C-alpha cells in the first residue's frame, strides 16, 4: 500500500514548490528578460540533474526518443515560455490564480486523449476544487493578456501531464531522474532560438541585482530541478485527472504564502482555499483504488496475463488423446 502513496507525496511536494514559483519568478523578471529566465533556470538545474542521470541507465536512449522531445516541448518550452511572458503583463498573484484552470484542462485532456475514466471520487474532488478556486479567484481575478498567455501555458502543461501518463508503465521506461533530465535537456534546447531572438532584437536582459540572481538560483535549484523530477515520478504513476486535481492546491497555497508575507485575510479567499484543498484530498484518496496498469488500456496484471496466455497455449496444443 505504501508504494502507492509515494506518487501522491511526490506530486504534493512539487505542487508546494510550484506555488512559490510565481512570486520568485516575478522578482527575477524585474531585471531579467523572459528567455534568459527560462533558459537560465533550466541550464542551472541541468548542472545538477545531468550528473545524477548519467549514473543511471538509459539517459542516451531516452534523449533519442521522440516522446522525450514532445515532453520537453510541452512541459518545458511552451509552458515556461508562455508563463514567463505572461508575468510581464499580469501580477504573480493573478498568474497563480490562473492555475485554477489546470485541473479542468488536465481532466479533459485525459478523457479525450487517453480515454481515462476517473473515479466518482475524482469527479467530486474536481468539482469541489473548481468551486474552491473559483471563490479564490472571485476576490482578485482579472482577465488580461497575461492571463490569456498563462492559460495557453497551462493547456500545454495539461497535455504534458497526459503524455507522461499515456506511455508510462512500459518495461524499458526510464526512471524519474533520467526522464526529467532528458525532458529538461530538450526543453532547454528548443528554447535556445528564443534566447537568440532576444539577443538579436536587443531585448535580452541579465539579472541586474542580487535579488534577480538569487531568484534565478532559487528557481533552478529549489523549484525547477526537484519539481521536474517529483512531478514526472508522480504523474507517470497516477491517473492524469488525479495529478491535475492536485494542482488545484496551487492557488490556495499561493494565497497561504501571501498571508504569511503579510497580506490581509480575505474570508472569501480563505473559504475558497479550504474548499479547494478539500477537493484535492477527496480526489487523491481515490488514487489507491486505481489499478497500476497503463491508462485507458484496461490491461490485466502481469500475473493474470501470464496465466491467461498459458491457458490459451494449452488449448491450442494437441493432447495425447487427440
Between residues 71 and 291, which one has the greater pLDDT? 71
- Model confidence at 167, pLDDT cuts 50, 70, 90, reads low
Between residues 2 and 136, which one has the greater pLDDT? 136
Cell of 27: 522578482
Which residues, 6 or more positions from 304, have their beta carbon under 8 angstroms from its beta carbon? none
In a domain, 321, yes or no: no
Express each pLDDT in 42-71 by its tens digit: 999 999 999 999 999 889 999 999 999 999
In a domain, 322, yes or no: no
- The predicted pLDDT at position 148 comes to 87
In a domain, 97, yes or no: yes
Q: Report the range out of 22-26, 140-144, 282-286, 297-301 with the highest average pLDDT.
A: 22-26
- The predicted pLDDT at position 311 comes to 47
Expressed as residue numbers, the domain containing 21 is: 2-316
In a domain, 224, yes or no: yes
Largest CA distance in the chain: 87
Which residues, 6 or more positions from 232, have their beta carbon under 8 angstroms from its beta carbon? 164, 176, 179, 180, 183
- The predicted pLDDT at position 71 comes to 94
Express each pLDDT in 10-31 by its tens digit: 888 888 888 878 778 888 888 9
- The predicted pLDDT at position 64 comes to 93
pLDDT at 37 over 70: yes
In a domain, 88, yes or no: yes
- The predicted pLDDT at position 304 comes to 41
- The predicted pLDDT at position 208 comes to 81
- The predicted pLDDT at position 42 comes to 94
- The predicted pLDDT at position 278 comes to 73
In a domain, 190, yes or no: yes
- The predicted pLDDT at position 241 comes to 67
The mean pLDDT of 72-91, rounded to a whole number, is: 89
The mean pLDDT of 186-198, rounded to a whole number, is: 95
In a domain, 189, yes or no: yes
- The predicted pLDDT at position 299 comes to 32
For 62, 170, 217, 243, the CA distances from 65, given in Å and listed in that order, are 5, 14, 30, 24
- The predicted pLDDT at position 169 comes to 58
The domain total for the chain is: 1
Amino acid at each position: 500500500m505504501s508504494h502507492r502513496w509515494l506518487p501522491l507525496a511526490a506530486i504534493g511536494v512539487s505542487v508546494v514548490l510550484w506555488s512559490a514559483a510565481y512570486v520568485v519568478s516575478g522578482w527575477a523578471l524585474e531585471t531579467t528578460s523572459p528567455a534568459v529566465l527560462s533558459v537560465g533556470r533550466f541550464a542551472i538545474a541541468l548542472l545538477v540533474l545531468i550528473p545524477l542521470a548519467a549514473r543511471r541507465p538509459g539517459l542516451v536512449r531516452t534523449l533519442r526518443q521522440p516522446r522525450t522531445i514532445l515532453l520537453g516541448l510541452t512541459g518545458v518550452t511552451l509552458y515556461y515560455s508562455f508563463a514567463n511572458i505572461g508575468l510581464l503583463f499580469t501580477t504573480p498573484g493573478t498568474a497563480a490564480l490562473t492555475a485554477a484552470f489546470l485541473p479542468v484542462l488536465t481532466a479533459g485532456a485525459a478523457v479525450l486523449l487517453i480515454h481515462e475514466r476517473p473515479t466518482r471520487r475524482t469527479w467530486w474532488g474536481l468539482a469541489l476544487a473548481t468551486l474552491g478556486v473559483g471563490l479564490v479567484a472571485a476576490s482578485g481575478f482579472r482577465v488580461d493578456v497575461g492571463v490569456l498567455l498563462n492559460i495557453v501555458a497551462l493547456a500545454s502543461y495539461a497535455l504534458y501531464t497526459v503524455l507522461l501518463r499515456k506511455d508510462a508503465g512500459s518495461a524499458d521506461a526510464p526512471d524519474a531522474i533520467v526522464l526529467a533530465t532528458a525532458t529538461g535537456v530538450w526543453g532547454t534546447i528548443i528554447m535556445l532560438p528564443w534566447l537568440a531572438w532576444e539577443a538579436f532584437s536587443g531585448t535580452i536582459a541579465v539579472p541586474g541585482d542580487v535579488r534577480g540572481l538569487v531568484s534565478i538560483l532559487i528557481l533552478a535549484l529549489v523549484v525547477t530541478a526537484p519539481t521536474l523530477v517529483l512531478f514526472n515520478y508522480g504523474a507517470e504513476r497516477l491517473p492524469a485527472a488525479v495529478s491535475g486535481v492536485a494542482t488545484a492546491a496551487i492557488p490556495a497555497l499561493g494565497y497561504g504564502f501571501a498571508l504569511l508575507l503579510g497580506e490581509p485575510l480575505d474570508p472569501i479567499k480563505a473559504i475558497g482555499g479550504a474548499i479547494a484543498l478539500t477537493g484535492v484530498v477527496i480526489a487523491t484518496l481515490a488514487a489507491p483504488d486505481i489499478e497500476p496498469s497503463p491508462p485507458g488500456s484496461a490491461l490485466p496484471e502481469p500475473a493474470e496475463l501470464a496465466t491467461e496466455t498459458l491457458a490459451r497455449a494449452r488449448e491450442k496444443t494437441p493432447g495425447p488423446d487427440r
